[in-house]
Amino acid sequence: MASLTFYGGAGEIGGNKILLKDLDAKIYLDFGEEFGFGEEYFWEYLQPRAANGLEVYFEFGLVPKVEKLYSKAMLERTPLDYEEPDIDGVIISHAHSDHLGHLPFIDEKIPLYMGHGARRITEIYRKLYPSFYNLGEHENIVDFSSKEKFSIKHLEIEPVHVEHSIPGAYGFIIKTSGGNIVYTGDLRMHGPRADMTREFIERAKEAKPYAMLCEGTRMESESEHNFTEGEVGDKVSQIIKGANGIVFGYFSMSNIDRFMSFYNAARENGRILVVDTRLAYVLNNLKDKISVLPDVLEDENIRVYYRLAKSCTFCEKDYYVWEREFMGRKITYEDIRKNPEKYVMHLNFNKLMELVYLQPKDAHFIYSSSEHFLEGEGNEEEKKRWEAWMGHFGIEFHKAHCSGHASKEDLGEMIKEINPEILIPIHTSKPEEFLKLHKNVRIPKKGETIEL
């Protein structure tokens, strides 16, 4: 029978790194980086150098010492000797760092299996952030699409798309020698593509799984109102409606559902959505994958913000080659200052400086990203600056957000419907909460193996 070893994602939200062994097949379900990875030792400029490989991480036990897994370069100066890998593949559920952030450590020969959308997102990020976004030079990346089964040795794997806060997210049904195992990845069912998650649940139910690895990000929260993407869109629209000046919004660049909520809210109120060149690049490179996305090169409701170049002009040659493509859609602080009430503008933390040029009056700001980003300990420093800037310019602050993860109630219903024999909670800090939802729960511990 199969076994599961939890190198990450057990008793914690994120960092999924789960080894599935069955007969002679060995695969990993995701290979992510934990949130707050290493922050108890490293801070600001006190960081391991890239040239150190895994030496420093092994020292603090931050990365598991597993043989025949890591690349030669990563193992230099570590107690582990390099050996040919014995892993048949890593299947990636989606492109969030807590699911693929540690891929740079593993041997380049190990095949990676990724959804075609997730792969595109990794390519986009690599282009936009070449100095710090690096998943390694993997020799063999295999794309998959929803419901197209693929095999790794005798294991038959069916990926099924799910809705999450990033496009290209999948759950999996894995046919092992002893029956089917379901892996949910991260999912939700309260957004515009809830139909995808429902399809996954349907397939998983038909598979009559003997085990299910189920995410439980929101098991820790008390039952509360489960805000939907539709409600977020309505709230954003209401704020825009009541605003006399410019409305700024912050949301993650990869959260395409949220982009659509802002885009639609701006349109409903006769305003133009202003995005920076990076977000424009993301949208332009996902448009062949996501049919509802407006064309940033054509759409009259979107303009692309160019900040003043170092030459103190807006001369094309002063910008990166990839961002010059949107020059035809250019808008500058000078344009916006003339009629700020015509615009809704996406604003990142690192673009706050633009407020000095924009000099907003009667402005509003909508923070539309995960709560713990603002309230989490690691971001206290950032939060202070957001507040200082908002205060300085007299900008009214709002929050409008809904989670990328299923509510406790939705998880309960999903578990009931799929009805696995064994339920294994992952990606949660409250695994014991699952005991209330199923009669046969096995709680995994980090570094330990569950024999099925």
- Interacting residues with Zn ion (CB under 5 A): 14, 96, 98, 186
If the CB atoms of residues 269 and 428 are measured against Zn ion, the closer one turns out to be 428
If the CB atoms of residues 96 and 329 are measured against Zn ion, the closer one turns out to be 96
Min dist CB 118 to Zn ion, Å, is 11
**Do 207 and 182 form a contact (C-beta atoms < 8 A)?**
yes
Q: At what angle do helices 194-206 and 408-418 cross, to 10 degrees?
A: 30
Q: Tell which residue, 326, 323, 358, 315, has the closest CA to residue 340.
A: 358
**Do 314 and 142 form a contact (C-beta atoms < 8 A)?**
no
Min dist CB 322 to Zn ion, Å, is 26
What is the Rg, in whole angstroms, of the alpha carbon atoms belonging to the chain?
23
If the CB atoms of residues 98 and 257 are measured against Zn ion, the closer one turns out to be 98
Contacts of 403 (CB under 8 A, 6+ apart): 165, 188, 190, 217, 218, 227, 370
If the CB atoms of residues 96 and 271 are measured against Zn ion, the closer one turns out to be 96
Contacts of 311 (CB under 8 A, 6+ apart): 318
**Do 424 and 444 form a contact (C-beta atoms < 8 A)?**
yes
Q: 3-class DSSP state for residue 44?
A: coil
DSSP H or E run through 374: helix 371-375
If the CB atoms of residues 96 and 161 are measured against Zn ion, the closer one turns out to be 96
Exposed/middle/buried for 274, CB within 10 Å: 0-12, 13-18, 19+? Answer: buried
Min dist CB 334 to Zn ion, Å, is 39
Min dist CB 59 to Zn ion, Å, is 26
Strand order of the β-sheet with 364-367 is 330-331, 302-305, 272-276, 343-346, 247-250, 364-367, 396-399
Min dist CB 308 to Zn ion, Å, is 35
If the CB atoms of residues 294 and 444 are measured against Zn ion, the closer one turns out to be 444
Helices (H), 306-353: 333-338
User: What is d(CA 313, CA 122) in angstroms, rounded to the nearest whole number?
Assistant: 32
Q: How far is CA 359 from the centre of its chain?
A: 33
Min dist CB 31 to Zn ion, Å, is 12
If the CB atoms of residues 406 and 441 are measured against Zn ion, the closer one turns out to be 406
Q: Which residues pair with 207 in a beta bridge?
A: none
Min dist CB 162 to Zn ion, Å, is 10
Min dist CB 305 to Zn ion, Å, is 28
Helices (H), 157-221: 194-206
Min dist CB 35 to Zn ion, Å, is 9
Q: What are phi and psi of 59, to 5 degrees?
A: -55, -40
User: What is d(CA 355, CA 391) in angstroms, rounded to the nearest whole number?
Assistant: 12
Between CA 286 and CA 295, with CA 290 as vertex, the angle to 5 degrees is 65
If the CB atoms of residues 114 and 344 are measured against Zn ion, the closer one turns out to be 114
- Per 3-state DSSP, the chain is made up of helix, strand and coil in percentages (nearest 5) of 35, 20, 45
Min dist CB 217 to Zn ion, Å, is 7
Min dist CB 67 to Zn ion, Å, is 27
If the CB atoms of residues 25 and 118 are measured against Zn ion, the closer one turns out to be 118
If the CB atoms of residues 75 and 282 are measured against Zn ion, the closer one turns out to be 282
User: What is d(CA 361, CA 50) in angstroms, rounded to the nearest whole number?
Assistant: 45
If the CB atoms of residues 10 and 239 are measured against Zn ion, the closer one turns out to be 10
